[in-house]
Amino acid sequence: MGERTPLWAVFVLPALLVGAALVTAGFDAVLAAGARRGRPGSLRETAVRAAEPGRQVLRHLVQQPRRTRASDLPLARIGAGLLPVAAVLAAVVLPLGFRSVSDLPEGIVWFNAMEALAWAAVWLAGWGPNSTLSLIGGYRFLAQGLAYELPHMLAITTAALGAESLRVGEVVDAQAGLWFVVWMPVAFVIYLLSAMAMAFWGPFDQPAGRDVAGGAGGELSGADRVLFLGGRWLLLVVAAAFSVPLFLGGGHGPLLPGWAWTVLKTATVLAFLVGVRRAIPTVRIERYLELAWVVLTPLAIVQALVVAVVVLNR
The answer to whether the beta carbons of residues 30 and 40 sit under 8 Å apart is no
Q: How far apart are CA 215 and CA 236, in angstroms?
A: 18
Secondary structure class of 234 (helix, strand, coil): helix
Query: Which residue among 27, 98, 123, 247 contacts another protein (CB under 8 A)?
Result: 123
Scan residues 45-74 and list those touching another protein (CB under 8 A): 72, 74
Give the CA-trace dihedral at 211, 216, 222, 228, to 10 degrees: -120
CB of 187 to another protein, least distance (A): 19
Q: Tell whether residue 142 is a contact of another protein (CB under 8 A).
A: yes
Q: Tell whether residue 242 is a contact of another protein (CB under 8 A).
A: no
Per CB under 8 A, which region of 53-61, 121-129, 215-223, 234-242 contacts another protein?
A: 121-129
Per CB under 8 A, which region of 14-22, 108-116, 220-228, 263-271 contacts another protein?
A: 108-116
Q: How far apart are CA 98 and CA 3, in angstroms?
A: 9
Per CB under 8 A, which region of 53-61, 127-135, 226-234, 252-260 contacts another protein?
A: 127-135
Q: How far apart are CA 311 and CA 305, in angstroms?
A: 10
CB of 29 or CB of 192, closer to another protein: 192
Q: Tell whether residue 150 is a contact of another protein (CB under 8 A).
A: no
The angle subtended at Cα 213 by Cα 47 and Cα 222, nearest 5°, is 60
Q: 107, 120, 124: which is closest to 159 by C-alpha?
A: 107
Q: Which amino acid is it at 291?
A: L
Q: Tell whether residue 171 is a contact of another protein (CB under 8 A).
A: no
Phi, psi of 178 (to 5 degrees): -135, 125
Residues that bind another protein (CB under 8 A): 72, 74-75, 78, 104-106, 109-110, 112-113, 116-117, 119-120, 123-124, 127, 130, 135, 139, 142-143, 145-146, 149, 166, 286-291, 294-295
